[in-house]
């Protein structure tokens, strides 16, 4: 059944510090007032009437939920908790900060039926966290993830590649830790400078250089290569474009199809390595066959994926065609080279085949 999230925004509420890159008011628009419990109940019931049949979840986003006073958390959760017991909601999720994941805090969430905790981890590297106003260490971030998991709650990890001071290795390390933790999902938000943040000042002063779209997709693709084999769902790549964000983003990789571009770069990256493998054993040029529904990953957005591949491998060093969909038995005859949620890359002689998974 389709899942629909009913989000309630609590911009920066409960946050222990203001992180250098964050302004939830700018990100969501100014006209946000905190809903009272009755408004929460009414909004959820209205969504249930409009959206049926679907699996509905209420989400408390935009701040540090578990840092709020306990009575406030309980007052906010109570209407959703009741609707969960009545079967109107299928789940409740909250977003919070790694420093507020004590067993007591997790137990409270559990009592009110919270099913998922989204942790704004951003980076596991101590120096990156310190530089960006995050008041904890990487070890604390790991413990926070484990606290959520050991409380029996689903864990979603949010990471921000390209934070100031983050090297490529820092971002790849974060991906490796996610692959080890195997959370229930990950969201990747490549860093952008929002108006009114310290990061925007750093950008104006030349202290932070935003990555190009190409550099962003290449690095995120490398992160995905690490995360995908661990069967971790990638729920989102890049901020969801909106009118308020269109105005608020001053610099950085903000693109309405960033996720698709990153998946194109991932396909190009994996195919590049698969072709290198072919070269090891074959004397003929590699031939790439891409199943037709996946061809847009190479040809979409003005041949973005193909452009990436040709940066790493000259266009005349291989041939390629869009192939028909392959029947499952033929797929099994191929040796699997790499698999993601979206595509499978397999090798057969000098042929590199990309099929749906
Ligand atoms: S990143 Fe998270 S903890 Fe930091 S200010 Fe924003 S909402 Fe608060």
Ligand 1 centroid distance, CA of 260 (Å): 26
> What's the rounded mean pLDDT across residues 280-300?
92
pLDDT score, position 116 = 98
CATH number, domain with residue 39: 3.20.20.70
Q: Say whether both 244 and 268 belong to one domain.
A: no
Specify if 258 maps to a domain.
Answer: no
Does the pLDDT value for residue 168 go beyond 50?
yes
Q: Say whether both 193 and 287 belong to one domain.
A: no
Spell out the residues 6+ positions from residue 90 whose beta carbon is closer than 8 angstroms to its own.
3, 55, 56, 57, 84
Of 223, 253, 283, which one is at a domain's C-terminal end? Answer: 253
pLDDT digits (tens, 9 = 90+) for 33-60: 667 778 888 888 888 888 666 789 999 9
Q: Residue 271 sits in which domain range?
A: 264-356
Neighbours of 326 (CB within 10 A): 19
Alpha-carbon distance 259 to 236, whole Å?
7
Specify if 259 maps to a domain.
Answer: no
Residue 331 pLDDT level (bands cut at 50, 70, 90): very low
Least confident of 59-63, 173-177, 184-188: 59-63
pLDDT score, position 328 = 47
Spell out the residues 6+ positions from residue 297 whose beta carbon is closer than 8 angstroms to its own.
260, 263, 264, 267, 290, 305, 343
What is the number of the ligand 1 atom nearest to the C-alpha of 22?
6
Edge-to-edge strand ranges of the sheet holding 55-61? 3-9, 55-61, 91-96, 116-122, 154-159, 185-188, 234-237
pLDDT digits (tens, 9 = 90+) for 135-154: 899 999 999 999 999 999 99
Atom 6 in ligand 1: residue holding the nearest Cα: 22
pLDDT score, position 293 = 87
Of 193, 223, 253, which one is at a domain's C-terminal end? Answer: 253
Specify if 295 maps to a domain.
Answer: yes
List the structure tokens of 165.
């001071």
List the structure tokens of 204.
């104006």
pLDDT score, position 133 = 92
Q: pTM of whole model > 0.85?
A: yes
Ligand 1 centroid distance, CA of 13 (Å): 9
Dihedral sign from CA coordinates of 28, 31, 35, 41? negative
Specify if 90 maps to a domain.
Answer: yes
Alpha-carbon distance 337 to 191, whole Å?
31
Of 202, 222, 253, which one is at a domain's C-terminal end? Answer: 253
More confident of the two residues 173 and 340: 173
> Hunting for tokens 């911009």 — which residue is that?
11
Tell me if 22 CB under 6 Å of ligand 1.
yes
pLDDT digits (tens, 9 = 90+) for 86-137: 999 999 999 999 999 999 999 999 999 999 999 999 999 999 999 999 989 9
Does the pLDDT value for residue 335 go beyond 80?
no
Across the chain, what does the average pLDDT equal? 91
pLDDT score, position 201 = 97
pLDDT score, position 30 = 54
Ligand 1 centroid distance, CA of 61 (Å): 10
SS (H, E, C) 49-63: HHHCCCEEEEEEECC
pLDDT score, position 195 = 94
Domains of the chain: total: 2
Atom 4 in ligand 1: residue holding the nearest Cα: 19
């Amino acid at each position: 059944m389709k899942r629909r999230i009913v989000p309630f925004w609590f911009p920066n509420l409960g946050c222990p510090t203001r992180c250098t890159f964050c302004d939830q008011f700018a990100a969501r628009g100014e006209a946000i007032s905190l809903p009272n419990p009755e408004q929460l109940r009414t909004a959820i019931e209205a969504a249930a009437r409009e959206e049926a049949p679907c699996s509905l979840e209420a989400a408390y986003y935009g701040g540090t939920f578990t840092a709020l006073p306990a009575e406030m958390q309980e007052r906010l959760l109570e209407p959703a908790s009741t609707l969960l017991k009545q079967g109107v909601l299928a789940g409740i999720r909250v977003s919070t900060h790694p420093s507020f994941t004590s067993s007591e805090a997790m137990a409270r969430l559990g009592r009110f039926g919270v099913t998922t905790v989204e942790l704004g981890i951003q980076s596991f590297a101590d120096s990156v966290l310190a530089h960006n106003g995050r008041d904890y260490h990487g070890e604390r971030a790991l413990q926070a993830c484990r606290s959520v998991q050991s409380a029996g709650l689903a864990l979603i990890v949010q990471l921000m590649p390209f934070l100031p001071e983050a090297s490529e290795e820092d971002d790849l390390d974060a991906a490796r830790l996610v692959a080890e933790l195997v959370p229930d999902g990950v969201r990747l938000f490549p860093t952008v400078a929002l108006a009114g943040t310290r990061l925007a000042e750093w950008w104006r002063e030349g202290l932070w250089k935003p990555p190009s779209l190409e550099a962003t997709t290449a690095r995120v693709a490398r992160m995905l290569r690490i995360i995908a084999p661990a069967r971790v769902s990638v729920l989102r790549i890049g901020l969801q474009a909106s009118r308020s964000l269109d105005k608020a983003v001053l610099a950085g990789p903000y693109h309405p199809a960033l996720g698709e571009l990153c998946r194109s770069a991932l396909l190009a990256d994996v195919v590049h390595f698969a072709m290198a493998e072919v070269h090891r054993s074959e004397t003929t040029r590699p031939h790439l066959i891409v199943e037709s529904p996946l061809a847009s990953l190479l040809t979409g957005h003005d041949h973005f994926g193909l452009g990436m591949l040709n940066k790493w491998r000259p266009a005349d060093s291989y041939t390629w065609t869009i192939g028909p969909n392959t029947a499952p038995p033929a797929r099994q005859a191929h040796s699997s080279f790499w698999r993601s949620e979206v595509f499978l890359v397999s090798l057969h002689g000098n042929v590199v085949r990309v099929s749906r998974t």
